[in-house]
Amino acid sequence: MSRDAAQMAACQTSLDLIIDCVAAPHDLDPYLAALKTNGRLVLVGIPDQPHLSPNITPMVFRRLSISGSSIGSMRETQEMLNFCGEHNITADIEIIGGEGIEAAFARILKGDVKYRFVIDMQTTRW
């Protein structure tokens, strides 16, 4: 969604919460624009360089907040998965076997990844 300007424009001031998992520096302003009043942007990806400073005007007038979080405990992770299951929240993923890890890493380095990789442990032989 974030690279599609039309989709980003269509969702302006419509979201309560955004969980940003991107581990590269990027402009936070389009995400702040997508938040409703009192919305929250939670950063969980840690870039190797700082993000640019966001425009604070919409943060002040719409009472937006930016926070960060590291991975939660097993209990918190289970609560999040239960919440997602109850509300039909899903993620776009690309499933790979263990033999595809090196190729997946090469794709990450080239920026050729649209979804998160998930390793299918049932088909993986270590």
Helix/strand/coil for 58: helix
DSSP H stretches of helix in the chain: 5-10, 29-34, 56-61, 74-86, 101-110
Buried b (16+ CB within 10 A) or exposed e, 63-93: ebebeeeeeeeeeeeeeeeeeeeeeeeeeee
Predicted local distance difference test score (pLDDT) of residue 31: 93
- State pLDDT tens for residues 14-48: 999 999 888 888 899 999 999 999 999 999 888 88
**95 bridge partner residues:** 118
Predicted local distance difference test score (pLDDT) of residue 1: 53
Average pLDDT, the chain: 88
Q: Residue 21 and residue 16: Cα distance in Å, rounded?
A: 16
Q: How confident is the model at residue 110 (pLDDT cuts 50, 70, 90)?
A: confident
Which residue would you say has higher pLDDT here, 2 or 124? 2
Work out whether the CA dihedral 61, 16, 42, 4 comes out positive or negative. Answer: negative
In what helix (H) or strand (E) does residue 64 lie, and over which residues does it extend? none
**65 bridge partner residues:** 40
Neighbours of 58 (CB within 10 A): 17
Residue 61: pLDDT over 70? yes
